[in-house]
């Protein structure tokens, strides 16, 4: 039996394929009833087919998650909420930020917040989430306070919808100069941990 997250992914994928098949069937019916409208039908088909050639952001994220944590990928279930006490916890926040520091000091990498260690997409909605803007602003303020605004150009972050939940995707490029957490602690990324 596959894991719950894999089962959810299979169900979602099957649903999307059924929707696509229904759309193709509609186009076939339209063509048989209106052969003179072939140009319009072909344009509709191309509008559907072209995006299928490129993988969606959600699929790219799911592909990375399925591969698991590594030297360049880390999962955190929350950014600041302790899931055992349901309270804000600075140590939980530090754990996420030190991974960013480690990525910056090594070869870069991606942090996914809202994904458990076993790869289940849990989302950030329970992580003291009031709105997308407030969540992102809180994250940016934490980056500024503990890592420094001079590293902003190397850190790209946004909320992404994956399996109907929002996760925070943080992509870090390698820094040419050393980066410290709170101006004191130096971290590097090893496979798949931050030391």
* % of the chain beyond a pLDDT of 70: 98
Could you tell me which of 26, 49, 27 has the C-alpha nearest to residue 40? 27
pLDDT of 137-158, one tens digit each?
Answer: 999 999 999 999 999 999 999 9
Mean pLDDT of the chain: 92
pTM of the full structure: 0.74
- CA 15 to the chain's CA centroid: 21
């Amino acid at each position: 039996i596959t894991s719950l997250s894999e089962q959810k992914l299979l169900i979602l994928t099957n649903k999307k394929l059924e929707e696509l098949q229904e759309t193709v069937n509609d186009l076939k019916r339209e063509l048989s009833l209106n052969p003179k409208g072939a140009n319009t039908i072909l344009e509709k088909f191309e509008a559907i087919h072209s995006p299928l050639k490129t993988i969606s952001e959600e699929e790219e994220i799911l592909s990375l998650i399925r591969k698991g944590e590594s030297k360049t990928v880390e999962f955190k279930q929350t950014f600041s909420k302790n899931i055992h006490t349901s309270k804000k916890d600075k140590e939980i926040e530090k754990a996420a930020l030190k991974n960013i520091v480690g990525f910056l000091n090594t070869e870069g990498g991606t942090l996914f917040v809202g994904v458990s260690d076993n790869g289940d997409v849990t989302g950030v909605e329970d992580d003291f989430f009031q709105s997308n803007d407030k969540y992102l602003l809180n994250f940016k303020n934490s980056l500024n306070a503990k890592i420094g605004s001079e590293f902003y150009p190397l850190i790209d972050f946004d909320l992404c919808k994956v399996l109907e939940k929002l996760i925070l995707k943080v992509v870090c490029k390698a820094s040419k100069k050393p980066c410290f957490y709170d101006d004191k602690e130096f971290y590097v990324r090893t496979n798949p941990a931050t030391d």
